[in-house]
Structure formats: structure tokens, C-alpha cells
A and B are shown apart, each in its own frame.
Chain A
Amino acid sequence: MDRQTFERLMLEHLPAAHRLAIRLSGSPDRAEELVQEAMLRASRGWAQFRGQSRFTTWLFQIVINVFRDQLRRKGVGEEVADDHDLPDARTVDPHQAASGKELGELIARHVSSLPPRQREVLVLVAFEQMAPSQAAAVLEISEQNARVNLYLARQAMKKLLAIYLNEDRCESK
């Protein structure tokens, strides 16, 4: 692939990378930093993309690596701080939350506060519509590992959103 094609592909896939960065970091500001750093790494290592995998897979790999580096650099302090700001799902009135259109944001914040590996798998599978095997390729882990993390992430989300899940099931019955 020549440089021009690569630059065009990058431009096309930037919104997807930005969206993934927001889902992983939970903050537009941090996502912007993340995607800028990813762009820089992609620009330096574009020759490594040999077209064997999809461009999205390659770009998402870079975004996720930057995300992990960022977490390592900043430590877990910031993550915990964000966690404290989350309203407790058990004390929020589900009707009020739903009517206030805040449920969506609450779920998003819960997803973005999961342990990093579980968050990565859940975001890729549930929100980027990837199969566990594809997610495993992006994360450079085994498919089994990806499935285990997906399972753990879903279990964690079930606990966090238990009250809404009960509501939902009652309504569907």
C-alpha cells in the first residue's frame, strides 16, 4: 500500500478510532489525546500495515495500545476517581433515570469504568459489533481469553445494572 492510500484510509477511519477512544476512556478530552497519540504512532508505523488484517483491526490495535500506555502512565488513581462519581444503580430510581435520559450515560460510564481488559472486550464485541475472535485479534490475546473477559464484563454489568435488568424483564413479560 502506498502512503497516499494509507493517508486516505486513516482519514476515513479517524471517526471510528475517535469513537472507540471515547468508549474506552469515557471522556472526550482524554479520547482526543488518545487518538492524537494513535495517529502519530500510525503515521510512524504505517509501513507495518501489510494488508493481511483489516485496516480497522490494525488501527484499533494501535488505539488500544495507546489506551493501555496511557493507563499505565497515569496509574489507576484517575480511574478510581471516576468510579466515585458514578451514581449507585441501587439508589437511583429507574423511572427517574430513564425519563431523564440519564440511563444511557449511566450505562456508558459503568462500561468505561470496568477493568481495562474487560472494558476492551465488551466495547469491541457489544459496541463495535465484533465477534470474540475478531476482538481477540485486535487485543492480541487468545479467543478463549477474550471470551472469559467478555463473560466477566457481562457479569459485572449485570451486577451494576441489576435494578434496571429486573425492570426490563418485568416489562418484557
Chain B
Amino acid sequence: MRASDDQFDPNDPAEQALDRLLQQARWHEPSPQQKQRVRDGWLALSHRRRIMPPLWTAAAAAVVLVVGGAATIVLRQSPVVQPHSEKFFAIVTDEPKPADLVRPATAYEKLALISATRTPSRQAATPIPLQTQPPVPSIAQLQLQVRNPASPIRGTAIHAMLKRNDHAGMNAYLNCLNDPSLQDQAMAVLVGMSDPPREALLNELNNPIVANRQAAAQALGAICNAELVERLGEMVESNINRREALAALLAAKNASAMAMLDDVARRHAAVKSQIQALKSETPDITSKEPGNGKENFYRAADSLDRGDGWIRIGAGATTV
């Protein structure tokens, strides 16, 4: 392309017409919840950063611990420290040395002597009795059972996640829904429940992870009854997690949900276009790609909490 070809004339009527058209472009606005989540995400990130020790402090602490640990090893293993060695005492006591060869012990040597002659003053620690198994299994235990393909209580573990009726349980359950190898079983357990946790799943429509929000919508669609259709309709009307509520109604595929969708689409043009967009991009939760931006964000935020290696070095040093 010649240099002159890549310039457009702003006074050309065709270009002006294009500019007028471009000014009409209208993208879907982020929902208030999305805006809030982004803002909260930043505030959480700033807060985590603030409570973290500065990098140089962490590095200095790590160096001190490593040097301290190494010094302890050297002091304990040093061949110089032989307090019962007859040869050592013989040199000092039997054959007095000329004055210029005798010198007071250095601090290092004093320390070495003290540490070598010291008798253990600490008594053996009494073993701490093992804690009794908590009556309610933890999320980690449930996840362990669920991730084990040979586990005979996989279904029971998924059921227990749902029975917890809290955010942690729901999050673990939604992760199962996003796992192609567990998805069918997870959905079957939910559908088979006499009293599925509808309220907890409704709360998960605002889950910070996109894939989990979408999975919650799918799950709600699978257990959608008339009362739930009403609740989802209210959420659409009041623009609370509207996209997710619409996705749940779309996933429901029952008559009352379809009627609700038709009704809101007729009354709100914006919702109508949102439904069309959702139909084209409704997530197939089986095709979720691992490691999206949001997950990376939370994973990294957690690693900030752990101290990004700082604690690992420190812990290694203290065990020396």
C-alpha cells in the first residue's frame, strides 16, 4: 500500500457518513453488579497488597532466617567443639604456651563451647491428642472424595456440598458442574434432591468467577419451578444480575420460564437483545477453558496472601 492510500479525507462525505454511523455504535453496558465486582476486586487487591510486608522486608527476613539456620548447623557440627577432648585440654593446661599464642576465647568459641556442653533442658513434648473427626466433613474432604474417580461415595459427597447451603459448598459444587467428568453426576444429584438449595444458588448468580455464575444459572434452570421463575423474573425486571437470571430462565426451558422471557422481551427492547445475545453465546459448561482471567486474578490474589514464597523460605529455615 502506498503511503497516500492509507489516509482518508475527513471532508469526504462517505467518511463523514461513516463517522456518523460509528457514533451510533452501542455496546452492552456492564451491569451494576459487574461494575461493583470490578471495583471490589481492585479494592481487595489493594488491601491485600497493603497488608503484605514490602518485598525488601520479606527478603531481609528470609536472609536473616537462612543465615541463622546455617549458623546453628555450623555450631552444632563444627569439629572445633570437642569439650571432652583430652588433647584440647592438654594443650591448654599441661604445656603453657608462650604469651603471644594465648588469647581469650572469641565470642564464637564461647558460643560453641556452651552449645556443645549444654545438657538438654527441654523435656520431650507431650503428644497432642488427635482432634476428633468433625461431624460435618470439610470442603477439602468432600473435594477429595469427588475428585477420586474410584470413590464409592462421590454422589454422597456432592450431595453434602449442596446440603451445606453456604457459599463454600456452592462454590465447590459449581466447580463440579464445570468439570466435564463430574457434570452429569453433579446435575443428577441436584435434580434428585427433594429440597434443592435454590436460595444459595440464586446468590451464586453474583459469583465473582464467570464460569461459576454461568454454572449456577444452568443449575437453577435444571430445578426451575414456578416460584423460581417468579424470582428470576423479578431479578430481570430490577436489573439484578440480569444476564445470569436470563441465562437461568433460558436454561429452564419450561413453559412458565418461556412465557416470562417472552413477556420481558416484549416489554423491554434492551432485554430482548440481551436474550438474543445470550442465546448465541449461552455457555456450554462442558467446554469451559481452564484459567480464565478472573480465575487467574483470584489465584494470584491468594498467592499474595500466602506471601509469594516468603513464608516458604521462612518455614524452611525455622525447621533447620
Contact = CB atoms under 8 A, between A and B. Distances in A.
B108 interface: no
B27 A172 contact: no
Nearest to A40: B297
- Residue picked from B3, B7, B24, B37, most chain A C-beta under 10 Å: B24
Contact of B17 (A11, A74, A144, A165): A165
B305 interface: no
B18 A161 contact: yes
Contacts of B5: 151
A125 B206 CA distance: 34
B280 A85 contact: yes
Nearest to B296: A37
A104 B291 CA distance: 33
A22 B27 contact: yes
A107 B243 contact: no
Interface string A148-161: 10110010011001
B150 interface: no
- Residue picked from B18, B20, B50, B296, most chain A C-beta under 10 Å: B18
Contacts of B34: 18, 28, 32
A157 B20 CA distance: 12
A94 to B, nearest CB: 11
B8 A154 contact: yes
B45 A144 contact: no
A108 interface: yes
A147 B243 contact: no
A137 interface: no
A103 B24 contact: yes
A39 B42 CA distance: 7
Interface string B7-43: 1100001110111111011111111001101110111
What is the size category of the interface that chain A forms with chain B? 35 or more
Contacts of B35: 15, 18
Given A15-B35, A27-B281, A39 B41 contact: yes
Nearest to A125: B22
B46 interface: yes
Interface residues of B, number: 50
Given A39-B45, A40-B300, A33 B292 contact: yes
A145 B291 CA distance: 33
B18 A154 contact: yes
B71 to A, nearest CB: 34
A52 to B, nearest CB: 23
B49 interface: yes
Interface string B274-307: 0000001100000001011110110011000000
B210 A40 contact: no
B6 interface: yes
Contacts of B3: 144
A61 interface: no
Contacts of B1: 148
A3 B49 contact: yes
Contact of A144 (B6, B50, B281, B289): B6
B244 to A, nearest CB: 10
B30 A32 contact: yes
Contacts of A26: 27
B273 interface: yes
B188 to A, nearest CB: 27
- Residue picked from B39, B46, B243, most chain A C-beta under 10 Å: B46
A32 B210 contact: yes
B140 interface: no
Nearest to B270: A101
Interface of B: 1, 3, 5-8, 13-15, 17-22, 24-31, 34-35, 37-39, 41-43, 45-46, 49-50, 210, 243, 269, 273, 280-281, 289, 291-294, 296-297, 300-301
5 contacts: A36-B41, A101-B26, A103-B21, A161-B18, A172-B17
Interface of A: 3, 7, 10-11, 14-15, 18, 22-23, 26-29, 31-37, 39-40, 43, 66, 70, 73-74, 82, 85, 100-105, 107-108, 111-112, 122, 126-127, 144, 147-148, 150-151, 154, 157-158, 161, 164-165, 168-169, 172
Q: Top 5 nearest A-B pairs by Cβ distance?
A: A104-B26, A37-B293, A33-B293, A107-B25, A85-B280
Given A22-B27, A101-B26, A147-B6, 6 more contacts: A29-B243, A39-B38, A40-B301, A70-B293, A104-B24, A122-B22
